Every structure is written in C-alpha cells, then in structure tokens.
Amino acid sequence: MYEVLEPDTAHGRVYRALVAAGSADLDELAGCARMDPDAVRAVLDELCAADVARAAGGTWTATSPERTVAAVLVAEERRRSRMWELAGALDALHGRSARSCAAAVEVGTDAELVEWVDRVQRHAEREVRWLDRPPHPGGAARLADQERLQVARMSAGVRYRVVHDQRVTTDPDRLAATGRLVDWGEQARVLAALPVGLLLADDRMGLLVPEPGHGGALLLHPSSMLTAFTGVFESLWRLAVPLSPAGAVTAEDRSILSLMASGVPDEAIARRLALSRRTVVRRVAALFERLGATSRFQAGVQAAHRGWL
C-alpha cells in the first residue's frame, strides 16, 4: 500500500483528499481528487480493506498519517524479510567445498541435456516441479515429445507444478501445449522473468538447466544444494501468478490495462482509444476474469506480475 503516500497515484490522491477534508462523501472526494466517482469508490474500498480509511454512513475518514506510514513501513519490512529469505536460500549454494559438490552433482554435456530432462521426470514418484525458462533444450522439435511424456507421468499420478517464464506466452505453439497440459492437470503459474531453469523430482533429484554457452547441465542428487534449490522453487512459486493459457494480452487490452491502472475511468478510456463505452466495459470485465481480480488496483498488480504492463 505504498501508493497511498505517492501524490501522483490514484490511491495517493484519494488519501490526501481524505486527510485534507477530515470527513467527506463520495462526490466531495471525487471533486477534490479530480477522479471519476466509480474510480474513487474502488480506491476507497481498497483503502478501507487496508485499514487506511474508514466508512460510516456514506462518508469516509482517513486514519492518521502517522498510523498509515507505520503500516507502510511494516509492509516494507515484511518485504525486506522475504528478500532476505530468498537471499539466504541462494547463499546456501555459496561456499561449498569441491569435495561435497562432487558427491552431489553430475556435470553433463549439451547432448545429454534432453536425456536428463526425461530422466528426472521419470524419476519422480509424487511430484515434478519446474522452472520453465527459455530457450528450451531440443527446441520446437522436442515440444511434442515433452507433452507426451508429461501426460503419461500425470496419468500415472505424478503432480506437475510449473512456473513458466513470461516469454513462454509469446510462443503460440508452446502456449497452446501449456493449455492442453493444464487441462490434463498441470498447475501452471507465470513470472515476468525466471533467474534459472530448474527441474525437480520429489526431493531426490534435480536438474539445473544452463543458458546456451554457459557450461553443461548439473544433475543434483540429495544434498544441501538440492535442498537450497528446492527452496528457490517454492519461493518463486509463491511469488508467481496463475497462468492464463488463453494467450498473451493484445496491444489494445494492454492500453486498457495501463489506463485503468492509472485510475482513468471507462468513459475516458473509450474516448482515448476510440472505442464505445460498452466495449470498454466488456473488455475490462474480461480482463478482470483472466487476471482473477476484483478491483482495478488488483488487476494492475496482477497484470504487472504477468509482464502485461
């Protein structure tokens, strides 16, 4: 909720209007913030949910700026703690001795990579976890083989949790395959960018997939290194958002999302993009459904996570 402190954001404008007025109704706040009443109401709902504002009898009041700043600082400290947890998981990979690494890791060649990808998936008894980061070993010709193998493993009861790099959504063939695999039971999420390609079979085997030209693949056996990379996956899984297999957002929908996230009302969006208001309302509703959002602010956050903005 850092946005309430920024005067140029919709949340900051509404909160400042509340602080200045002390107590105000919707129309008064819309006039002070110079925003559409529907947009102001959506922001007020989010401010009340965050305990930054309170509603009573058709009017709203702001919590004290001191309390609001304290809440923002607490949220920021939680975010910092989360970053330290991620750093700790990565730091566990640092400083291992060559002897312990030799026992825990096999170094493979590019020619072995596709074979190892299959090997890890077949090794799983309960779950495969995957950080799916392009470029993919074997290229487009490998896509159908991977789909068949994954369907067979899921049919045998193995669960797949996959975090896809945002670039996957720009490849129509791979995105279509992902949609089919989701229908078979894959749990798919997406992040704007993944730091590494990784494949895990239960907690017993892992595969670190390098970028082309950056050395061979690393096959990980039970060790502190495998445990650390398992922690990396789980952290990124929690940060990722559900993938929409229907496809990436269009340029026009991207413009609607950008304007909507900036607090521009539907009528103004329609004028800006030369669309009818009914078309904009319909497109906004469809975007809310794809993003799993219930407010414009939430839709903006989800769209940013998916790399749509």
- 100-114, 173-187, 218-232, 290-304: least confidently modelled range: 100-114
Asked if the model's pLDDT at residue 222 lies above 60, the reply is yes
Lowest pLDDT segment from 88-102, 129-143, 292-306: 88-102
| Mean predicted confidence (pLDDT) in 270-291 | 88
**Mean pLDDT computed over 106-128:** 87
C-alpha gyration radius of the chain: 24
Percent of the chain with pLDDT over 70: 91
Q: Please indicate whether residue 4 or residue 177 has the higher confidence score (pLDDT).
A: 177
What CA–CA distances, in Å, run from 301 to 97, 113, 196, 230?
A: 42, 36, 24, 26
104-242 falls under which CATH superfamily? Endonuclease Chain A (3.30.870.10)
Q: What CATH number should be reported for the domain whose range is 2-66?
A: 1.10.10.10
What DSSP designation does 247 have? Answer: -
- Quote the pLDDT of residue 120: 93
Work out the average pLDDT over 267-281.
90
Nearest to 9 by CA among 61, 58, 46: 46
Number of Cβ within a 10 Å radius of residue 272: 13
Which residues lie closer than 8 Å to 127 by C-beta, 6 or more apart?
A: 158, 159, 160, 161, 201, 202
Residues of the chain with CATH 1.10.10.10: 2-66, 251-305
Percentage of residues in the chain with pLDDT exceeding 90?
A: 20
Amino acid at 239: L
At the top level of CATH, the class of 251-305 is: mainly alpha
How confident is the model at residue 249, as a pLDDT? 67
pTM given for the model: 0.50
Model confidence at 215, pLDDT cuts 50, 70, 90, reads low
pLDDT in tens, 148-170: 999 999 999 999 999 998 888 77
* Residue 99: pLDDT band with limits 50, 70, 90: very low
Cβ 197 vs Cβ 163: under 8 Å: no
| pLDDT over threshold 90, residue 240 | no
pLDDT at site 128: 96
CA gap 205, 75 in Å, rounded:
36
Side by side, the strands of the sheet bearing 127-132 are 105-107, 218-220, 205-209, 197-201, 127-132, 159-165, 187-191, 241-242
Q: Work out the number of other CB atoms within 10 angstroms of the CB of residue 48.
A: 14
Tokens found for residue 32: 């002070």
* Chain centroid to CA 191: 4
* Helical segments of 4-142, H only: 10-21, 26-33, 37-49, 65-91, 98-104, 110-123
The two tokens of residue 257 are 């999302």
Where is pLDDT greater, at 126 or 309? 126
What is the structure's pLDDT at 239? 84
Pairwise pLDDT comparison (226 vs 170), residue with the higher score: 226
Confidence of residue 29 (pLDDT cuts 50, 70, 90): confident
